[in-house]
Amino acid sequence: NAGVTQTPKFRILKIGQSMTLQCTQDMNHNYMYWYRQDPGMGLKLIYYSVGAGITDKGEVPNGYNVSRSTTEDFPLRLELAAPSQTSVYFCASSADIRSSYSNQPQHFGDGTRLSIL
Amino acid sequence: DQQVKQNSPSLSVQEGRISILNCDYTNSMFDYFLWYKKYPAEGPTFLISISSIKDKNEDGRFTVFLNKSAKHLSLHIVPSQPGDSAVYFCAATTRGGSEKLVFGKGTKLTVNP
């Protein structure tokens, strides 16, 4: 059972380059999220999606774009990499729990460590 | 404006003793609270949660207490084990919507043998 898979695990970019961080989940979860974690800080939400075709901004969306064409995949796009985007990026997914207060926590991938030089 | 605060960046305890990690929140709309555990080079792993309709939830060695009037929750680990050494994140959300989590900065727990 793979859960949430992120690729690549590490990447070094030059300023101004672009790249896509991949995230896929095999749990048939409707909800997916992208977070970034800077050193000594908690995770901050970049973008999220409540289902295929639906995305919305989180707390720190500037410089990023997302798409959700399938339930399984939620790629994060950096168009013009900047040093401030050096961070560890985590993708997460969760089931839709609107119908109950059952325990449906977010499941995280192992992260992509991105350095922009 | 930090809505979820973990004011202790680190905590060191002896094996077998109790570890108490604290978390404060400011947003009264939060109604579900979670603790995640994170090892280096891995993603956060869910540990335990509590709904605002409860004041305590227990799962084995882990107990979470919620004091709504003080907007404070704590995680108790008894007895602490060296394998518990990790960074612990407190998170909060408002249920019934997009389930977005707001995280604290984390507390690094070190359990000494």
Report which of residues B2 and B10 the model is more confident about. Answer: B10
HEC profile for chain A? CCCEEEECCEEEECCCCCEEEEEEECCCCCEEEEEEECCCCCEEEEEEEEECCEEEECCCCCCEEECCCCCCECCEEECCCCHHHCEEEEEEEECCCCCCCCCCCCEECCCEEEEEC
Looking at every residue in chain A, the average pLDDT score rounds to: 91
What's the gap in Å between the CA of B96 and the closest CA on chain A? Answer: 5
Location of structure tokens 């908690």: A42
Of B41, B42, B106, the CB nearest to A42: B106
According to the model, what pLDDT value does residue A74 have? Answer: 98
Is pLDDT of B51 > 70? yes
Q: How far apart (Å, rounded) are the C-alpha atoms in residues B88 and A76? A: 26
Q: How far is A105 from chain B (nearest CA, A)?
A: 7
The residues facing A21 across adjacent strands are A76
Set of chain A residues whose Cβ sits within 8 Å of the Cβ of B34: 105
pLDDT of residue A99: 45
**Residue A106 to residue B46, Cβ atoms within 8 A:** yes
Q: Which chain B residues are closer than 8 Å to A10 by Cβ?
A: none
What's the gap in Å between the CA of B108 and the closest CA on chain A?
Answer: 10
* Amino acid at site B41: A
Answer yes or no: is pLDDT of A101 > 60: no
Categorize the per-residue pLDDT at B97 as very low, low, confident or very high, splitting at 50, 70 and 90. low
pLDDT in tens, A31-88: 999 999 998 888 999 999 989 999 999 999 999 999 999 999 999 999 899 999 999 9
Query: What tens digit of pLDDT does each residue of A5-32 get?
Result: 999 999 999 999 999 999 999 988 889 9
List of residues 6+ apart from B32 with CB closer than 8 A: A101, B49, B50, B51, B52, B92, B93, B94, B95
Copy the structure tokens of residue B56. Answer: 């305590």
**Token representation of residue A14:** 């030059």
Report, as an integer, the average pLDDT of A107-115: 95
Rounded CA separation B34/B51 (Å): 9
pLDDT greater than 80 at residue B26: yes
**Whether residue B95 has pLDDT greater than 90:** no
